[in-house]
Every structure is written in structure tokens, then in C-alpha cells.
Amino acid sequence: MTISEKKHIIMLMVDTLMNTTLQEALKNGKAPALQFFIDNGYNIPNVVSPFPTMSVNVDSTLLTGVYSDQHKVPGLVWFNKKENRIIDYGGHVRELFKLGLKQAMEDIFYNLNHNHLSKEHKTIHEILMDQDIQTASISTLLYRGNHSVQLKFPFLLSLITGMRRNIVVSAPNVFSYGSMAKLNPSIRNSFFWQKYGFNDKFTAKEVKYLIEQDMLPALTIAYFPDLDQRIHKNGRMDSKGIEKVDKQLQKILNSYRTWEEALTNNIWIILGDNGQAWIENDRNLALIDLRKLLDTYQIPKLKDTVTSSDQVVLCVNERMSFIYTLDAKTVSLEDIANILQKDERIDVIAWKKENSIVVTSGIHDGQLIFQPEGDFIDKYGQSWEIKGELTLLDLSINENKINYGIYPDALARLYTTFFSHEGDYLVVSAKPGHEFIGEGSPTHIGGASHGGLHEQDSLVSMIVTGTNTQPKNLRILDVKDWILSLILE
């Protein structure tokens, strides 16, 4: 069978698509489109997201098929040692203003795809385009391809941020990026209160346009962001967010004469990127203020340049944080860890020591030390050397087989984080019910949040229609190779 005779693959990335919320909507009959896809295919409720469970890191892994030790996008917020500055791809607007809007916009709209995402690992778009196979990206955060496209920034956004109106990016053949690069000429310009087109309605219109114009390439990846914000605000069981996404999926299915016709020549993959863990209603209990916990150290303000007198830099990714020591000789990671261990809301505290990772906790006593290539094998075929308290990562070992508990693929996900970028840093993850804050961090009191290592942050649903195959392992890490096999084999 030739490439042209194969089914089109349409991947709809639904931010924060979790099985618990999905089942609630299905039970109430409020998600007919999703029910239709499941009835004609299958639903996997527990696909494992990369760590930290933040969209930029997840999407980087999805496109490259490697963890952050190789794709080099550590998380939403991280410290660039070479440039001596915090990089933030879109946390709270308070943070972006303090860090400098122009720099933040350059990081989000250009550097993320073109300078920070490693060029040593080609994206799925680049691999297919090298073989003259067309792909499409619609409103995805990560999109790098081989085709030069001009992004045109809205006048007001350009005026406020200082970004120049036009920049050239490397993208797939078929590319839509909100109102900055749209496919359907009939879509009116979207304004800032519509997130400049980065919303479910815009994405659905662009997918419909490709279908109606018979322009679907071999692979289309389209991003639906709205559910994420509803879950943040209303919590894990807000099924109304699923209903809203489903209405957009219904519009896409209605592009065909019948919904059954939509299945004829297409493989549909509907995939979440990260989950979210519940957050306490009590603000004082919910929020772990790292500035207060570490107030004995000199921590730079976001608006200030990091100087030689500063000791610790905080990069908060909601329920996970990177905590950097700027001089490991005078401020050791172990000393910082000892302070954090006194807070029982922090369930994982880890740092790199030579080639090993040391794990402690605010909940459990003792240490766990691990590194690759040992006598113990996990379900993914990865081998590990492990010493110490297994309860710290909820591990169990039976006849040299490692079983994971509430932290899926914990060893690889945690280990690779320490090789994602330069610097001496701790990685901390919060218990469900809690999230970290620094200066200007977003908060989600009484709602939900993500970033952490826990299964609530880490497990997402994947609905597949049109093929009986599935990835080698149920991880987003393995999705790229699976898609390539569907197109190329």
C-alpha cells in the first residue's frame, strides 16, 4: 500500500483529558462524539505523561519520542545557566511582566521551537517531510518542521510586548498558529480576549476546513486547550469542560455526510497531554511558598538580573519546581533538601549526585539512590541499580522486577529531568492537594493543578479509532514511533 492509499491520521490533543472526567461525561450522556469514537475503537485510560507534567515538556516528548534529557525542554519555567536568566514559556502574566514581556514572547513564539528544542532529535514533522510526506500542525505549542512560514503578530500584541510584527519560523507544510498563521481565510481575526485564536473553537474550524477542502495530509496534529483552564478552576471532576470539547468534536464529525463516513479513511487519535491533581480549598494549606521555606537564602526577584550575591533561584512549575543553587560549595543541595524535608506537603525531593539520583521526602524517612543499568528491570525494559527505601517512590521489587505504584515510570521520568539542562538543582514534587508558589506564580485554590510526578498529574486518556494497534508502551514517549509505523510501514 502506498502512502497516498493509507488512512489519514488525525491526532486531537485535548489538554488535561483524564479518564475520571471523561467517564463522568460519558455516564451522563454528555459527550456523544467521544462516545462515538470509543464505540468504534478503544479507550486507554492510563497513558503516562512525561515529567514535569507541563505541556511544553509533554509536547516536546510527543514530537521527538525522547524524554527531556535529550529534547532539552525541561519544563514551563527553568533557569538557563548560559544566559543567566529564567525562561518562562507562559506562566502567569505577572511572571512574564516581571521577567520582561519582549524576552518572554521571543522564548514562547520562537526560541522554544527553534533554539531550545534540540536539533539532534528530529520532530515527527521533520522526519515525514524529509520523505516528502505532508503533515499539519494546528495551534500546537511545539510544531517544528522544514517549511518556512511567516507569523504575523497582532498589532496590539506587538505594541505591548515590543515583538516585531513578522517573524519567519520552520513549520510543517500545513500550518495554523492562532490568528498569526491561519488556514481558513473566512475566519475573522481573533482578539486578545479570544486568546488570539488559541482556543478550541478556532482549532475545530481549522480541522473542519482541512476536511471540507480535502486538504488532510498524512498526519494532522491539532491542539484543544480550553479544558485545561476549566479543570484548573473547577477541579478534576468538571465534566462540563468535556462537554464543551465534545461539541467542537461534533462540529468536526459533522463535516462528513455521516459520522460513520469520518471513520472510512481516517485514524483518529484523541490524546490528553497531562492530568491534574486536586488542590485544597484552604489557601494556607494548599500553597507551598518556597520563598518562605528558603528565606535564609538570597533569592533574586524576577525583575532583577541574577547577580553573584544571589544564592538560590526558584523556577516553579505549579506542582513541581526546580530549585537551583548558584554555588554548590557554599549552598549545598543537601542543605536545601534538609529544609524542605520538614514540610510534609512535599512528597518527592531529589537531586543528582555524580551519576546517581538521591531521593528524600517530606513524608517518608530515609533515602533512595538509583541510576540506570543495574540488576532490576521495570515493565518498560529499563534496567536500574536501586538502594535504599523503596517507599519513597512507591516501588516494589519481586524477583528483580520493579513495579511502579502512584508514580508511573518514576525512575526514568525523574532521572532524565536531571540531564535536561545545565545547573545544580533540586527537583521537588508536591503531594496531591498542594502546589508550589514563588513570586507571581499562578494558584488554583479549590481547583486542580499539574506538574508533579504523581499519577493524578501523570495519567491521561487516549481514544483510538481506525486501527487495532497501539504504542509499544502506554507512554506519550512511545507515541511518535507508533505513528511513524502507521504511516511508513
CATH superfamily of the domain spanning 3-73+117-279+453-488: Alkaline Phosphatase, subunit A (3.40.720.10)
Contact 113, 143 (CB under 8 A): yes
| pLDDT higher than 50, residue 100 | yes
Spatial separation of the C-alpha atoms in residues 75 and 58, rounded to whole Å: 9
Contact 16, 457 (CB under 8 A): no
Cell numbers of 30, please?
A: 454528555
pLDDT tens, residue by residue, 48-91: 999 999 999 999 999 999 999 999 999 999 999 999 998 988 76
pLDDT tens, residue by residue, 259-297: 999 999 999 999 999 999 999 999 999 999 999 999 999
Classify 458 as helix, strand or coil: helix
Closest CA to 155 of 171, 146, 166: 166
CB atoms < 10 A from the CB of 161, how many? Answer: 18
| pLDDT higher than 60, residue 192 | no
Share of the chain above pLDDT 70, in %: 93
Closest CA to 360 of 337, 381, 377: 337
pLDDT tens, residue by residue, 333-348: 999 999 999 999 999 9
Q: Name every residue whose Cβ is closer than 8 Å to that of residue 166 and which is 6 or more positions away in sequence.
A: 150, 151, 152, 153
pLDDT tens, residue by residue, 318-373: 999 999 999 888 999 999 999 999 999 999 999 999 999 999 999 999 999 999 99
Give, in order, the Cα–Cα distances in Å from 398 to each of 102, 165, 173, 473. Answer: 53, 59, 49, 21
Note the pLDDT of residue 306: 84
- Compute the residue count for the chain: 489
| pLDDT higher than 60, residue 316 | yes
pLDDT band for position 182 (50/70/90)? confident
The reply to whether omega before 408 is within 30° of 0 (cis) is no
Find the largest Cα–Cα distance for the chain: 69
Cell numbers of 93, please?
A: 502574566
CA atoms within 13 A on the CB side of 110: 18
Closest CA to 387 of 405, 404, 375: 375
Note the pLDDT of residue 67: 98
Spatial separation of the C-alpha atoms in residues 279 and 276, rounded to whole Å: 9
With both helix axes pointing from N to C terminus, report the angle between 32-39 and 239-253 in degrees, rounded to the nearest 10: 70
State how far Cα 423 lies from the chain centre.
22
R_g (Cα) of the chain, nearest Å: 22
Note the pLDDT of residue 150: 87
Spatial separation of the C-alpha atoms in residues 419 and 355, rounded to whole Å: 10
Closest CA to 433 of 236, 138, 185: 236
Contact 408, 386 (CB under 8 A): no
Contact 463, 34 (CB under 8 A): yes
Note the pLDDT of residue 126: 98
- Strands 219-224 and 135-138: what pairing? parallel
| pLDDT higher than 90, residue 93 | no
Amino acid at 425: Y
Contact 109, 167 (CB under 8 A): yes
Domains in the chain: boundaries: 3-73+117-279+453-488, 283-444
pTM: 0.94
Cell numbers of 405, please?
A: 505504584
Note the pLDDT of residue 193: 39
Spatial separation of the C-alpha atoms in residues 173 and 196, rounded to whole Å: 22
